[in-house]
Amino acid sequence: MSAANDPAVSPAPAMDLVEMATSYARSRIVWAAARLGVADALEGGAQTVEALALRCGADPAALYRLMRALASIGIVTESTPGSFSLMPFGESLCKDAPNSVWPSVVFWAEFLADNWAHLTECVRTGKPAKYIMERDGVPSRWANDPDAGAIFRAVMGNAPTQDYKPLVDSWNFAQAQVIADLGGGGGSMILAILKAFPHLKGMLVDRQASIDAAAPRVNAEAMAARCQLVPADLLEAVPSGADVYMLSAVLHGYDDDQAVRILKNCRSVMTPESRLLLIEFVLPSVVNRPDRELERRLVSDLNMLAVTGGKERSEVEWKRLLEQSGLMLRQVVPISADPDRSSPFGQPSVVEASLGSPWEEGS
């Protein structure tokens, strides 16, 4: 007897699997709204679907169907038949909104989803999607979009500084003097730390394009005197001059060989008193039960497989990677979740490493 005909097998779990298989739909609906500029077109107030179609360059009948789906999600509302208004939930889809999520929606639902479409072959070959796409002659949206670099920089390291409060509270930064944020993107993390500890000085280190993009924010937040902007390629060298070096969500984007190369560059500028803080997910050694929080971290692991060829790692793997680089794992400190601010992949931990003897507590 097949499972389909077995009365002992409930249909509910099977339908849950089907629902998982269709969960991409919401992502594509929100992405279409972002690319069409629906939220921006509605900023001035309610619009008929015909007027909206003109502003968005869309077919009115097809746009009406999209708008109704958006209304069911709560992004817009159909105030009168065929006329739509933007809801508060949808305001952050506007490109010029404070803390706009427009770049994030395009980044995740278009550029990275493009890679996820090749996940099966990534698993078969162990290679990221870009190699599969090149092999099969499939064009990459990320590679071909002229705005892709700007969108990436708008997403990485540009969260509000208050999002980093759990990190700031998780480690004793008061014992440091100079913090270097390596691969820090838009500077949110280093700015959050500098605001919390007025005695500190900082270094924001990243590629030149990211440094150029971060400079206006550093200046606007009156941090130019305390935060040095340093262009660098971490695979080639890490600047000296800090006593705490931080890599947040950087090494998970690299395979072990490249990660060791970066870690060795960090080691080359560290002293026995220096600390290296890796802000990364720490996976368990065994996954033996359903766990929504862990699922999010493991989704990030597959995201690294499909997109960069990197990986999330367990504590044992982090320890091994550090030892291969001449560093010592000192402790792993989980970062508490902020109930008001959630990450799509859950909370990381602070993986602390050093060359030598520990700093005394409170020193």
Could you give the CA distance from residue 294 to residue 297 in angstroms, rounded to a whole number? 5
Question: Which residues are paired to 306 by β-bridges?
Answer: none
pLDDT surpasses 90 at 130: yes
Of 5 and 320, more confident: 320
Encode pLDDT of 161-209 as tens digits. 888 899 999 999 999 999 999 999 999 999 999 999 999 999 999 999 9
pLDDT of residue 359: 43
What percent of the chain shows pLDDT beyond 90?
83
pLDDT of residue 285: 92
What does pLDDT average to over the chain?
Answer: 91
Report residue 5's pLDDT band, with 50, 70 and 90 as the boundaries. Answer: low
pLDDT surpasses 90 at 7: no
* CB-CB contact of 249 with 300 (8 Å): no
* CB-CB contact of 255 with 309 (8 Å): yes
Report residue 339's pLDDT band, with 50, 70 and 90 as the boundaries. Answer: low
CATH 1.10.10.10 in the chain: give the residue spans. Answer: 11-93
SS3 sequence of 178-246: EEEEECCCCCHHHHHHHHHCCCCEEEEEECHHHHHHHHHHHHHCCCCCCEEEEECCCCCCCCCCCCEEE
Between the two ends of the chain, the Cα-to-Cα distance in Å is 70
How far apart, in Å, are the Cα atoms of 80 and each of 37, 74, 295? 21, 15, 41
pLDDT of residue 8: 53
Secondary element (H or E) of residue 334: strand 328-334
What are the DSSP calls for 259-325, one per residue?
Answer: HHHHHHHHHTT--TT-EEEEEE-EE-S---S--HHHHHHHHHHHHHHHHTS---EEHHHHHHHHHHT
Over residues 218-234, the mean pLDDT reads 94
CA angle 201, 203, 207 (to 5 degrees): 170
Over residues 238-259, the mean pLDDT reads 97
pLDDT of residue 159: 79
Report residue 306's pLDDT band, with 50, 70 and 90 as the boundaries. Answer: very high
pLDDT of residue 203: 97
What percent of the chain shows pLDDT beyond 70?
93
Report residue 38's pLDDT band, with 50, 70 and 90 as the boundaries. Answer: very high
Of 131 and 2, more confident: 131
Both tokens of residue 125?
A: 């070959």
* Burial status of residue 131 (CB atoms within 10 A of its CB: 0-12, 13-18, 19 or more): middle
pLDDT surpasses 60 at 4: no
Superfamily (CATH H level) for 156-354: Vaccinia Virus protein VP39 (3.40.50.150)
pLDDT surpasses 80 at 362: no
Second-level CATH architecture of 11-93: Orthogonal Bundle (1.10)
pLDDT of residue 340: 58
Instruction: Report the 10 Å Cβ neighbour count for 54.
Output: 13
How far apart, in Å, are the Cα atoms of 22 and each of 18, 27, 139? 7, 10, 25
pLDDT surpasses 60 at 282: yes
Report residue 58's pLDDT band, with 50, 70 and 90 as the boundaries. Answer: very high
- Of residues 141, 74, 151, 63, the one with CA closest to residue 105: 151
pTM score of the predicted model: 0.88
- Residue 66 identity: L
pLDDT of residue 76: 98
CATH 3.40.50.150 in the chain: give the residue spans. Answer: 156-354
- Of residues 316, 239, 301, 303, the one with CA closest to residue 270: 239
Over residues 52-65, the mean pLDDT reads 98
- Of residues 319, 306, 327, the one with CA closest to residue 262: 327
Instruction: Report the 10 Å Cβ neighbour count for 34.
Output: 23
Report residue 13's pLDDT band, with 50, 70 and 90 as the boundaries. Answer: confident
